[in-house]
Amino acid sequence: MTNQPSWRKPAGIFLILLIISVWAVIVATASPWIGTLPALVQAPVYIVAGIVWILPLKPLLAWMETGHWRR
């Protein structure tokens, strides 16, 4: 392990912010359609949308730490 800072961490943070931003735009774009659904359907849709963006973060965080996409 080296004491020099890695470029992967700032790049990874930028990618995380990009993923969140793109996902927010996608959900916001879909919100007029989601808004026409009954409230009991809207809630699970927004819950799933709020969780799905986390899925690509595990390999991204592993890459930030190790330099490899898988551990």
Nearest of 25, 4, 30, 15 to residue 62 by alpha carbon: 15
Residue-wise pLDDT tens digits, 25-71: 999 999 999 999 999 999 999 999 999 989 888 899 888 888 887 76
Most confident of 1-5, 7-11, 31-35, 59-63: 31-35
Phi-psi region of 38 (alpha: psi -120 to 50; beta: other; left: phi over 0): beta
What is the spatial distance between Cα 56 and Cα 53, in angstroms, rounded to a whole number? 7
What pTM was estimated for this model as a whole? 0.77
Cα pseudo-dihedral 26, 27, 33, 34, rounded to 10: 160
